[in-house]
């Protein structure tokens, strides 16, 4: 008799326990696509060393060696005089969606040396940023 009255209550508690532990599909978000860590090379320059420009412009080739992010890449370019660290304004660089890319440095003054810093950042993931690559560029023209 006791079994007949307790069994339905036990069964109800067991069903409620199992159904509450069951995971719902909305609890598990779809896995996001992971971006490969950005990496790039500047094949025409010697990093950390002095390079030579023959006039007021210098074409700089940039190759992204990692998988290109779906939304593209933003290039940050800083050009400043080696002594005094006076910035030299450059044209805006369009977001990169394919590689290789040529970036043209402009307004280089004769017989001046500039510190050039290049850094990339993913447009789809703000945490995917490269370490800056630095080189020096001297305009050897004597206008």
Question: Does the structure show a pLDDT above 80 at 2?
Answer: no
Domains present along the chain, CATH in parentheses: 40-139 (2.60.40.10)
Mean pLDDT of 89-107: 92
Task: Note the pTM of the prediction, 2 decimals.
Answer: 0.73
DSSP assignment string, 71-127:
T-EEEEEEEEETTT--B------PPBSSS-EEEEE--PPTT-EEEEEEEEEESS-TT
Q: What are phi and psi of 22, to 5 degrees?
A: -70, 130
State the pLDDT confidence band at 90, using cuts at 50, 70 and 90: very high
State the pLDDT confidence band at 30, using cuts at 50, 70 and 90: very low
């Amino acid at each position: 008799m006791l079994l007949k009255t307790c069994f339905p209550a036990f069964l109800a508690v067991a069903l409620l326990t199992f159904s509450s532990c069951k995971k719902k599909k909305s609890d598990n978000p779809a896995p996001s696509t992971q971006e490969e860590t950005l990496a790039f090379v500047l094949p025409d320059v010697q990093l950390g060393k002095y390079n030579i420009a023959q006039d007021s412009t210098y074409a700089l080739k940039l190759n992204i060696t990692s998988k290109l992010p779906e939304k593209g890449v933003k290039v940050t370019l800083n050009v400043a005089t080696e002594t005094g660290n006076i910035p030299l304004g450059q044209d805006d660089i369009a977001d990169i969606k394919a590689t290789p890319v040529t970036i043209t440095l402009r307004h280089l003054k004769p017989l001046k040396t500039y510190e050039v810093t290049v850094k990339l950042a993913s447009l789809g993931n703000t945490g995917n940023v490269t370490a800056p690559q630095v080189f020096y560029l001297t305009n050897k023209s004597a206008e």
